[in-house]
Chains A and B, each alone.
Chain A
Amino acid sequence: MAVISVEDLNVAYGNHQVITDLSFTVNEGDFMVVIGENGVGKTTLVRALLGLLKPRSGEIDIPANTKIGYVPQFRNIDEEYPLSIRDFVSLNSGKGIIPWLNKRERARVDRMIRMTDLTAIADRPLGLASGGEKQRAYLAQALLQSPQLLILDESTASLDNEMKYELLDLVTRFQQDNLSVMFITHDWDLARHFGTRFLQMKPNGYNEGPINELPEHEEEE
């Protein structure tokens, strides 16, 4: 079953066409790698999928009950950021009118913190956490509402190699519940290691298919 399908998508900033006639589908359980060099429109695509940007034409079809979790590339969390990891994760506890979290919501936050291996540091300020710990906290917040699709926008870019693999291993653990993943990256090794499908974006078009059909990266040859 498709969690997102895109048909003939065109996105432009003013006169500058960024995405031209793009079509692809992400199915349940897919680990779709969106790969390409800087400036080919990967982040623009994400913004369009999240509804933060209006496409010029084309269709983005997301079934009504599909929730999307998103881990952005940048976040304004500096050393002085005051919230604890637990409080940061629990921000995504829904829009209810009751200000405090009920027992079920608290249990869900605890469970997510446990599943992202953050229990030992849950009460420490997020601002003082390491790069890897921060990414795990962002992941926990994005997954709190049990989304069907998780979009990771270059989320591993600031991590060292070992941490990158650890974070994505963690993500794949959540795929046991049929979570679909869209992972935006320009790291070809990670793409091949974790992806099941790929969408390669280029300045003048795109390729897509199962991961074993991902062409050799020019720099790799």
Chain B
Amino acid sequence: MLTLAFMRHAFIASAFIAVVSGIIGVFVVARQLSFLTHTLSEIGFAGASFAVFAGWPALDGMILFTMLSSVLVGQMSIKESRREAVISAVSALFIGLGILFLSLSSQTASSATSILFGSVVGISINEVHQLIVLSIVVLLITLAIYRQLKFSSFDPIGARVVGINETLISVIFLLLLALSVSVAAQIVGSLLIFILLTLPAASAKYFTHGVAKMVVLAILFSLLGTWLGLLLGYLTNWPVSFFIAVIEVVIYVVALIYQNYFVEAN
């Protein structure tokens, strides 16, 4: 299997995606941004469709759209009372735009499928390089603000008092999230991004009680899902995204059972 270049690319790309989604996911879950992540994936879909329409690489369109809109949507949905309505409105608008761009471009059906559901086995070496560079950028920035991000995500009240600039950290994190969404979309597709950006981290928090351990576990869960998904996809010829989704959901269900029957029983 690994003698095939596209499979090697897929395994390398998914390793980086797993690391990025594992780290960012822990903070997405702590900051309760799962819904926003979902919206960003729809914005990413519109961006990728726009790229297809304009003749650009899909990743460029996704980055452009998600970066521009992440901070805006993040700020608009700060008030919890209107969060759901704002997010629904933005999702609707961008799915509409995505459909428009696809219908305006000539290569509708196959492009739409690969944007929505991922096309990891079609990933080229150039795209792998681009993905690695983006992942490293996300990781370096995350590490540089790690302590402040950790404090403001897990104890916003305490963080504000010691003078952490919550607005700045929040804006930087939303931009990192936008980049991560664009990166992760390459493998699972824009429709299923939240699988990698929320489920592994949401599962990890049931097994451990330290931020660093959660990050490690979330990365392992992402890696298990993507690599095993690729392997099963290769063996069965079924879509890789399907397997990744099932594996991550199974891990999450196991985490819930572990929490309910083993931890609470003690």
Question: Which residues of A are at the interface with B, using a C-beta cutoff of 8 A?
Answer: 50-52, 68, 70, 72, 74-76, 82-84, 86-88, 91-97, 99-100, 123-125, 138, 141-142, 145
Contacts and interface: CB of A to CB of B under 8 A. Distances in A.
A67 to B, nearest CB: 9
Task: Using C-beta atoms within 8 Å of the partner chain, give the interface range for chain B.
Answer: 20 to 34
Which residue among B143, B157, B214 has the maximum number of chain A CB atoms within 10 Å of its CB? Answer: B157
24 contacts: A50-B161, A51-B163, A52-B161, A70-B161, A75-B155, A75-B157, A76-B156, A82-B30, A82-B205, A82-B209, A82-B214, A84-B209, A87-B154, A88-B154, A91-B154, A91-B155, A91-B159, A92-B162, A95-B147, A97-B147, A99-B143, A99-B212, A141-B155, A142-B158
Contacts, number: 64
Given A83-B209, A99-B147, A99-B212, 8 more contacts: A70-B161, A82-B205, A82-B214, A83-B211, A91-B150, A91-B155, A92-B158, A142-B158
B148 interface: yes
Nearest to B151: A91
A75 B160 CA distance: 12
A26 B143 CA distance: 39
A94 B209 contact: no
Contacts of A70: 158, 161
Can you list the 6 inter-chain pairs with the closest CB atoms, starting with the nearest? A84-B209, A99-B146, A82-B205, A70-B161, A91-B151, A87-B210
B147 A94 contact: yes
Chain A interface mostly: loop
B162 A145 contact: yes
Contacts of B155: 75, 88, 91, 141
A72 B148 contact: no
